[in-house]
């Protein structure tokens, strides 16, 4: 089998190759979605499960543990979607509890800027940062529809196109609140951010929370270039990772930020086996579990717009015509690029399934690709990751687990030692803060060293 260097070469990634680079690892627990095999996992509502998870990750010297968020339960055809794990805590609340029983690991909370108040959220995040001794991160997300707004005071107040404008102004305001001495009045009165408050939480050991950003659209990438310390991208395959790194670093240079001021940690699945064949078998099994017969029917129900439960998931596609109209964008279970062109899509699937003799579940497994994963022995994956970071295609990964907590124990016990052996992983925590772990530039007066990207006029 060829080495990663032979397979991928050493393309220009927008940053100089670094033979002594380290892999930075986080774990992203979304709390919803099909990735987690819930039949195999322990209770996700019990805080004890998460104490075990973060303790294990801290033993494995991980940079961060990362909680997802979403402010409305996902639905399928007007009913709460039943097939995926759901029911999650407020991430800051949960992480503050975990902060008290850990010492080093970073704790990253996903919170949205569309339906939160800037001064209030900035204060809560600063509080987590302060109490954890400088270990907090904020994954900045926006909410893209008024449907989620049904749980808030002003549903749909923000046009979809302006959600990143709001996020930018919001983050600017948060940075000012974090950067000024306690007792200083900060105020903003623009069309999208309006408050008068006082900076109330003392500066944490790391200056301010580390900012994560995940949006892959142009608006998301601009926000990341302007504000993020870490990008949590979806570009995991090597060629995609390189293209993303080149794009992001060009944006950074354009606004005068150092390319080392932002860490790139794409999401990644990990499937380990004693042999490559064993790992591949396991990955196949995981994909089959993930796209189960029930989920396959539910997937096509979204397109047909009708109850398909009477169809055999192992039989042919439904012969009835889908309901008129496009997909209902409200469910939150489909990515946005799948929300138009429904009828052409159904026609294409019909042809594909006829041509290849695919059943409903076969087709669902073919069109719903497996979560991008690294599959192999611990040594193979360590070798692969070493090449990714030394060529600066990425700075590490956010592992999305398929099982809790056992899979993470396996990664810590088997994969981490292989990384350490190759010199691409720390042997001990060197610093105490999340900013230290990520080897990010320090913060002076709330502004990251070398960052010229902080903008936003202060109006009174």
Q: DSSP letter for 403, please.
A: S
Q: Which two tokens stand for residue 355?
A: 């041509």
Min separation Cβ 154 and another protein, Å: 8
Min separation Cβ 104 and another protein, Å: 14
Residues 4-43 that bind another protein (CB under 8 A): 38-39
Min separation Cβ 300 and another protein, Å: 15
Q: What residue has token string 């998870």? A: 53
Q: Does 414 bind another protein (CB under 8 A)?
A: no
Tell which residue, 426, 434, 396, has the closest CA to residue 139: 434
Q: How far apart are CA 348 and CA 413, in angstroms?
A: 45
| 271 burial via Cβ count (<10 Å: 0-12, 13-18, 19+) | buried
Q: Does 82 bind another protein (CB under 8 A)?
A: yes
Q: Does 90 bind another protein (CB under 8 A)?
A: yes
Residue from 154, 254, 343, 354 binding another protein (CB under 8 A): 154
Q: Return the number of the residue (127 or 379) whose C-beta is nearest another protein.
A: 127
Residue from 15, 201, 363, 448 binding another protein (CB under 8 A): 201
Q: Return the number of the residue (116 or 454) whose C-beta is nearest another protein.
A: 116
Q: Return the number of the residue (203 or 251) whose C-beta is nearest another protein.
A: 203
CA distances from 427 to 60, 389, 416, 418 (A): 9, 17, 10, 12
CA distances from 436 to 97, 104, 433 (A): 22, 10, 5
Q: How far apart are CA 137 and CA 210, in angstroms?
A: 4
Residues 249-308 that bind another protein (CB under 8 A): 292-295
Q: Does 210 bind another protein (CB under 8 A)?
A: no
Residues 175-194 that bind another protein (CB under 8 A): 182-183, 185-187, 189, 193-194
Q: Return the number of the residue (19 or 183) whose C-beta is nearest another protein.
A: 183
Residue from 84, 229, 380, 395 binding another protein (CB under 8 A): 84
Tell which residue, 289, 292, 287, 284, has the closest CA to residue 361: 292
CA distances from 405 to 62, 83, 370, 396 (A): 15, 20, 21, 21
Q: Does 332 bind another protein (CB under 8 A)?
A: no
Q: How far apart are CA 18 and CA 392, in angstroms?
A: 7
Min separation Cβ 227 and another protein, Å: 21
Q: Return the number of the residue (402 or 425) whose C-beta is nearest another protein.
A: 402
Alpha helices of 132-209 — where are they, by DSSP H?
Answer: 146-149, 163-179
Q: Return the number of the residue (97 or 250) whose C-beta is nearest another protein.
A: 97
Q: How many CA atoms lie within 13 A of 15 on its CB side?
A: 30
Min separation Cβ 44 and another protein, Å: 9
Q: How far apart are CA 14 and CA 91, in angstroms?
A: 34
Q: Which two tokens stand for residue 389?
A: 């970071």
Residues 55-74 that bind another protein (CB under 8 A): 70-73
Helix (H, G, I), strand (E, B) or coil at 321: coil
Q: DSSP letter for 71, please.
A: S
Q: Return the number of the residue (189 or 458) whose C-beta is nearest another protein.
A: 189
Q: Is the dihedral of CA 225, 392, 441, 58 positive or negative?
A: positive
Min separation Cβ 194 and another protein, Å: 3
Number of residues this chain uses to bind another protein (CB under 8 A): 70
Min separation Cβ 188 and another protein, Å: 9
Taking residues 96 to 115 in sequence order and writing x for each that binds another protein by CB under 8 A, - otherwise, the string is xxxxxx-------------x
Q: Return the number of the residue (88 or 249) whose C-beta is nearest another protein.
A: 88
Residue from 13, 35, 94, 398 binding another protein (CB under 8 A): 94
Q: How far apart are CA 307 and CA 291, in angstroms?
A: 18
Query: Residue numbers of the site for another protein (CB under 8 A)?
Result: 38-39, 45-47, 51, 70-73, 79-90, 92-94, 96-101, 115-117, 119-120, 123-124, 126-128, 130-133, 150-154, 182-183, 185-187, 189, 193-202, 292-295
């Amino acid at each position: 089998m060829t080495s990663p260097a032979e397979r991928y070469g050493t393309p220009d990634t927008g940053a100089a190759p670094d033979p002594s680079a380290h892999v930075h690892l986080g774990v992203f627990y979304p709390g919803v979605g099909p990735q987690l095999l819930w039949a195999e996992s322990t209770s996700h509502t019990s805080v004890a499960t998460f104490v075990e998870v973060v303790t294990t990750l801290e033993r494995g010297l991980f940079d961060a543990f990362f909680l997802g968020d979403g402010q409305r339960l996902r639905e399928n055809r007007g009913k709460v979607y039943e097939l995926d794990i759901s029911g999650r805590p407020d991430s800051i609340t949960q992480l503050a509890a975990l902060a008290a029983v850990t010492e080093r690991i970073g704790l990253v909370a996903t919170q949205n800027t569309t339906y939160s108040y800037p001064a209030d959220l900035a204060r809560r995040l600063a509080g987590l940062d302060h109490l954890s001794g400088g270990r907090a991160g904020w994954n900045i997300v926006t909410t893209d529809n008024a449907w989620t707004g049904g749980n808030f005071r002003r549903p749909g107040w923000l046009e979809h196109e302006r959600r990143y404008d709001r996020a930018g102004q919001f983050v600017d305001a948060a940075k000012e609140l974090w950067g000024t001495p306690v007792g200083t009045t900060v105020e903003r009165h623009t069309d999208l951010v309006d408050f008068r408050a006082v900076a109330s939480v003392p500066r944490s050991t790391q200056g301010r929370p580390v900012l994560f950003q995940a949006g892959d659209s142009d608006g998301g990438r601009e926000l990341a270039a302007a504000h993020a310390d870490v990008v949590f991208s979806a570009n995991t395959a090597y060629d995609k990772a390189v293209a993303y790194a080149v794009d992001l670093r060009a944006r950074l240079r354009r606004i005068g930020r150092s390319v080392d001021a932002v860490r790139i940690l794409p999401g990644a699945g990990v499937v380990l086996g004693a042999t490559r064949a064993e790992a591949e078998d396991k990955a196949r099994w995981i994909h089959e579990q993930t796209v189960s017969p029930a989920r396959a029917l539910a997937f096509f129900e979204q397109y047909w717009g009708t109850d398909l439960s009477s169809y055999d998931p192992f039989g042919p596609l439904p012969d009835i015509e889908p309901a008129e109209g496009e997909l209902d964008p409200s469910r939150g279970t489909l990515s946005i690029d799948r929300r138009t062109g429904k009828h052409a899509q159904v026609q294409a699937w019909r042809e594909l399934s006829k041509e290849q003799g695919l059943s409903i579940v076969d087709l669902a497994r073919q069109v719903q690709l497996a979560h991008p994963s690294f599959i192999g022995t611990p040594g193979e994956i360590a070798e692969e990751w070493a090449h990714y970071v030394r060529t600066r295609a990425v700075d590490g990964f956010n592992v999305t687990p398929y099982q809790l907590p056992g899979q993470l124990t396996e990664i810590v016990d088997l994969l981490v030692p292989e990384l350490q052996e190759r010199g691409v992983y720390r042997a001990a925590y060197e610093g105490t803060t999340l900013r230290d772990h990520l080897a990010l530039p320090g913060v002076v007066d709330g502004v990251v060293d070398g960052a010229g990207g902080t903008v936003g006029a202060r109006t009174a």
